[in-house]
Structure 1
Amino acid sequence: MDVPAELKELSATLASIEAVVDLDALRREIADLETQAAEPTLWDDVENAQRVTSRLSYAQGEVRRTEDLRRRLDDAQTLYDLGVEMDDADSRTEAECELVSLRRAIDELEVRTLLSGEYDAREALVTIRAEAGGVDAADFAEMLLRMYARWAERHSYSIDALDTSYAEEAGIKSATIQVKAPYAYGTLSVEQGTHRLVRISPFDNQGRRQTSFVGVEVLPVVEQSDHVEIADDDLRVDVYRSSGKGGQGVNTTDSAVRITHLPTGIVVTCQNERSQIQNRASAMNVLQARLLERRREEEQSAMNALKDGSNSWGNQMRSYVLHPYQMVKDLRTDFEVGNPQAVLDGEIDGFIEAGIRWRRAAETTPA
Structure 2
Amino acid sequence: MDRITVVGGGFAGLTAAITAAEAGARVTLHEAHHTLGGRARTAEGAYKTNEGPHALYSGGPHWTWLKQRGLLQPLAPIPPRELLRMRFHHRGALHRTPPLALLRLGRHRAELAPVDQGFLSWATGLVGPAGARAAAHYAAVALFHHDPGSLSAAFVQERFRRASSLPPEAHYPRGGWGALIERMAGYAWDLGVRIETSTRVTELPATGDPLVVATSLDAARSLLRDETLTWTGGRTALVDLALTTRPGDPFAVSDLDSPGWIERFTAQDPTLAPPGQQLIQGQFPIAPHESKADGVARAERLLDTGFPQWRERTVWRRASVAANRTGAVDLPGTTWRDRPAISRGGGIYLAGDQVAAPGVLSEVSFNSAIEAVTLALTSSRLEVAR
- TM class, shorter-chain normalised? under 0.3
Structure with more helix by fraction:
1
TM-score by length of 2: 0.22
Length-normalised TM-score, structure 1: 0.23
Considering Cα pairs closer than 8 Å and 6+ residues apart, tell me whether 1 or 2 has the greater RCO.
Answer: 2
